[in-house]
Structure 1
Amino acid sequence: MDARPQSKWLDKLVFLGTGTSSQVPAIPCVTGAVTGCVTCEDAMKPGSKNRRGCTAALAIGSAPGGPSSCIVIDCGKTFYQSALDCFPKYGLKRIDAVLLTHAHADAILGLDDLRSWTMRGTIQDYVDVFLTQECFSTVQNTFPYLVNRKLATGGGDVGALRWHIISATERFYVGPHKVPIDPLRVDHGYAGPERHPFECLGFRIDTMSYISDCHNIPQATTDKMIGSTAIVLDALMMRPHPSHYSVPQAIEYALGFADQQSAQGQGVPLVLFTDVCHRMEHHSFEASVQQFLAGLNAYREKHQDATGAWWEEIWDARENEESLELRLRSDPGAMQQRCLPEMHVTYDGLCIDFRKV
């Protein structure tokens, strides 16, 4: 059986970056200011899965018989190096669209590097960038010369970008294939003196839903994700955080989403965790997720009549946040049958292949 997630347009999802704005390794850990960080120690080794750039991704797809199209999600501080690693590897040249989730440094500070695609029209004449008005206002203040090229100084070699203001709730279309994109509105921390929720976007592209930065996903957004064969979720660390999902929160959401989707006859999605900080060593994190799921699957097999948030009978997510360890309340015994979504920890350069249907 082909276990790849199904799609209509999407061929591949490539993770350009899977870390926080601070990236991994962390400077204090590699300079000796802080000692004992096994994640950062390993991240210094070539090819380490613990080395993480700012969270970003490439969605690569094609129409029947047509050429591939490339959509970039976020263009942060490490975008250029990630592009050097991934564009030649997958034979990519053009960028058909850049989607920005929000206006933080890890999502927008690589916009200046898009000049490499447009200078003298060597690859393309312009890059289309899709963002909300709030995000655009910050970009305009940060990079005025990218919005108005007359403000450029020096040689004047700046990127040629076409700005498209989108709604946080309405579908839009990108690229030569007119790929439909559904923005997924989420809360990513708080802003202003009144501390109102800071609006951030994820995106649903075909059958893939991508949410890299959130501490809350509204039900209306979840409803738009139903039918996804793969979902990408923020999973910063074990402890609670004011602007990101903790690992237990991400797992809770994934279980609830899979339950809701299964109840509608849609099947369970592949779940992928991103935006991981240096407190989470990749290999041990992945192993703990698989051990945890094996226990949940065993419990579910023996309690098939359980309904609702059945996992709460054997798992206390809040206790896990305090203990900094994924564990069940008791040993459910051996696993007999998988009945939960597959979940994995991402790493920079990971490629998820999709199966066209």
Structure 2
Amino acid sequence: MSCNECCSSNGISNGVGSGKGSSALIFIGTGCSSGVPTPMCLMQPSDPPCEVCHKAMSAPPEINPNYRCNPSLLIDYDGENGDHCYILIDVGKNFKEQVLRWFLHYKIPQIDAIILTHEHADAVLGLDEIRGVQPYNRYNDIEPTTIYLNQFTMDSVTVKFPYLVQKKLKEGQEIRRVSQLDWKIIENSCERPFNVAGLQFTPLPVMHGEDYESLGFLFGKNNKVAYVSDVSRFPDATEYVLSSSGGGQLDLLILDTLYKKGQHNTHFCLPQSLEAVKRLQPKRALFVGMTHEFEHYRDNEELAEWSKREGIDVQLACDGLRIPINL
């Protein structure tokens, strides 16, 4: 059973809106920063063993919705001229694995642009691996991939990857094969949208812990999509933009959900995620960022019951899920 089939069998329609056009959203990763399975659950198994981590190893990841890589979304945007533009949100620790698994499966030929939500490891540590999806040239004389990020993330990336930011060689410095990137600074403001290949993105500042601001993004003219992978609280301005009474009803809300119970200081857990869905009233919501507490099939059955009660379609996403959408 493919990931699309397994998600569909649990109540997720793979289409959003009218279905016109041939754009799509592909969930390259839907797990937490450490991913699922958790190595320690396998190295030193408990008694009884961790159910989800063992299930994550019971079948190949391509057909196993309990195997989850770092959060990442690929937007396959079919523009007005019919040319496809491939826009990736975040390149985390599992980036190469995700490319080899899902880009090949869906025959994705290139990455045209990358948007970063923040500078944590699960969002940026794949930047070095972008060279693997760029044309080979021993002199690095190739068209760079555009990266959209805020100034705080840019400052952090400059420390983490100085060789990806530096443009001119110092005297005596050898040419090395590294990712070729073109950095574009965006603002932490709902009032400062930016354009990628004709698709407009609105930054959504959110709290990722009370001492840290991350970004989500709102995009889509025909069908409105919000992607918020790392959030512990919505500032009032951001929540207003996402609400039905503010910016208009969302067709799809993709939202952070770390643990099944309780609360966390830097992420929504399931109770806060469901409460946010009730407040924002999207037509549909998909959760990402899950730990090994979530068993895909069983928890989607429970969410299907919640959806019937509340009148909003809510499910866990899974790695490899592809949703056709009219953007």
The answer on whether the counterparts of 2:87 and 2:112 sit within 8 Å (CA) in structure 1 is yes
Aligned: 1:245 with 2:262: no
Correspondence list, 1:187-266, <5 A: 187-190=207-210, 197-206=211-220, 207-225=224-242, 226-227=247-248, 228-237=250-259, 238-258=261-281
Q: Which residue of 2 aligns with 1:147?
A: 165
Q: Deviations over 1:282-337 (max 9, x none)?
A: 1121111112233x24xxxxxxxxxxxxxxxxxxxxxxxxxxxxxxxxxxxxxxxx
Instruction: State the percentage of identical aligned residues.
Output: 31
Higher relative contact order (CA 8 A, sep 6+): 2
Question: How much has 1:89 moved relative to structure 2?
Answer: 2.6
Aligned: 1:271 with 2:293: no
Q: Deviations over 1:96-132 (max 9, x none)?
A: 2100000000000000011123353599611000001
Distance 2:44 2:21 in 1: 47
Question: How much has 1:90 moved relative to structure 2?
Answer: 2.6
Amino acid at match of 1:101: T
Stretches of 4+ aligned residues off by more than 6 angstroms? 7-10, 151-154
Do the aligned partners of residues 224 and 129 (structure 1) sit closer, same or farther apart at CA in structure 2, a change above 3 Å counting? same
Choose 1 or 2 for highest CA Rg: 1
The answer on whether the counterparts of 1:20 and 1:54 sit within 8 Å (CA) in structure 2 is yes
Q: Which 5+ residue runs of structure 1 have no aligned equivalent?
A: 191-196, 259-267, 298-339
Question: How much has 1:223 moved relative to structure 2?
Answer: 2.6
Question: How much has 1:42 moved relative to structure 2?
Answer: 0.3
Question: How much has 1:62 moved relative to structure 2?
Answer: 1.1
Correspondence list, 1:346-357, <5 A: 346-355=317-326
Question: How much has 1:253 moved relative to structure 2?
Answer: 0.5
TM-score (norm 1): 0.77
Aligned: 1:171 with 2:193: yes
Q: 1:103 aligns with which of 119, 128, 133?
A: 119
Q: Which residue of 1 aligns with 2:4?
A: none
Aligned: 1:344 with 2:325: no
Amino acid at match of 2:27: F
Correspondence list, 1:318-337, <5 A: none
Q: Which residue of 2 aligns with 1:40?
A: 53
The answer on whether the counterparts of 1:60 and 1:68 sit within 8 Å (CA) in structure 2 is yes
Q: Which residue of 1 aligns with 2:177?
A: 157
Root-mean-square deviation (Å): 2.4
Q: 2:132 aligns with which of 98, 101, 116?
A: 116
Q: Which residue of 1 aligns with 2:9?
A: none
Question: How much has 1:354 moved relative to structure 2?
Answer: 1.2
Distance 1:93 1:240 in 2: 40
Q: Which 5+ residue runs of structure 2 have no aligned equivalent?
A: 1-12
Deviates more, 1:215-224 or 1:201-210: 215-224
The answer on whether the counterparts of 1:94 and 1:123 sit within 8 Å (CA) in structure 2 is no
Corresponding residue pairs, total = 296
